[in-house]
Amino acid sequence: MSDPLFLLPPGALSGEEVVLDGPEGRHAATVQRIGAGESVIVSDGVGDGARCLVLDAADGALRLRVTERLTDPPPALRLVLVQALAKADRDLQAVETATELDVDEVVPWQADRSIVRWRGERATKALRKWDQTIVAATKQSRRLRRPLLADPVARRGLLDRAARADLVLVLHEEAQEPLSTVQLPDAGEVLLVVGPEGGISPEELRELVDVGGRAVRLGRSVLRTSTAGPAALAVLGAASSRSWR
């Protein structure tokens, strides 16, 4: 089994010895019961990491010695998932799996047909839950670079973001163009837009196409919103050099 990964604050990897404390240290020492002589990976979440030998485990913290420096440079081609808010935590399922599939950024989208509505304190709590899901999935998948979590957008915000992207792919069950035939750019930002349970409204689709979006489909089946984004990311990852970076 590969070494477990823990996240550190930026700048904590500057020396040859590292102290993993706080919630991450308590989880490592108390819950996972990692002890002296074992190996772990630590990362700042933005591409720098290290494989470390545990020197000591006490008082809910690990004292580590760096044995190997690790790095994951920023990708030339960024994959951004625009995930519509959905009921029954299906949006969270999509975010979790998308993180494991190497997405670079997640954008919560209040679509026209989203049953779930983020307002006030509920929005703050929901965004925190999305962030916690991303962190957990980052550690599970041993990623040195965690995905960014953007502020929630409604239609206008999505259209502004789409207008700036290098390629916008809108998953739609009535599209004729297969996702598997799309030619990806070598660099830039690819925006993958996934609608809610009720689908993307005709007005949303028309406006996304007006700013350069392309309606695409995965296959004959109509997938749940929790499945569609990750499935599409797997296709895009396999079609690019990102699978081996």
Tell the residue number behind the tokens 């996304």, with chain if given: 208
Identity of residue 172: H
For 142, phi then psi, to 5°, come to: 60, 40
Identity of residue 55: L
Tell me the CATH number for domain 5-71.
2.40.240.20
Tell the residue number behind the tokens 């998932």, with chain if given: 81
What are the residues facing 40 on neighbouring strands? 52
Tokens of 35: 């002890």
Element (H, E) at 51: strand 48-58
**CB of 153 closer than 8 Å to CB of 161:** yes
Tokens of 89: 């935590």
CA–CA separation, 168 vs 239, rounded Å?
16
Q: Cite the DSSP H helix spans in the chain.
A: 22-26, 90-100, 120-140, 155-164, 202-210, 225-239
pTM, full prediction: 0.93
Angle between helices 202-210 and 155-164 (to 10 degrees): 30
Dihedral in degrees, nearest 10, Cα atoms 96, 129, 198, 233: -20
Other CB atoms closer than 10 Å to residue 125's CB: what's the count?
A: 11
pLDDT in tens, the chain (245 residues): 689 999 998 888 888 999 999 999 899 988 899 999 999 999 999 999 999 999 999 888 999 999 999 999 999 999 999 999 999 999 999 999 999 999 999 999 999 999 999 998 989 999 999 999 999 999 999 999 999 999 999 999 999 999 999 999 999 999 999 999 999 999 999 999 999 988 999 999 999 999 999 999 998 888 899 999 999 999 999 887 664 44
Number of helices (H), then strands (E), belonging to the chain: the values are: 6, 12
**What is the pLDDT, as a whole number, of residue 71?**
94
**What is the pLDDT, as a whole number, of residue 242?**
60
CA–CA separation, 102 vs 145, rounded Å?
9
Tokens of 156: 């206008």
**Every domain of the chain and the residues it spans:** 5-71, 77-244
**CB of 96 closer than 8 Å to CB of 133:** yes
Tokens of 142: 């041993």
CA–CA separation, 229 vs 94, rounded Å?
6
Fold designation for 77-244: Alpha/beta knot (3.40.1280)
Other CB atoms closer than 10 Å to residue 12's CB: what's the count?
A: 17
**What is the pLDDT, as a whole number, of residue 244?**
47
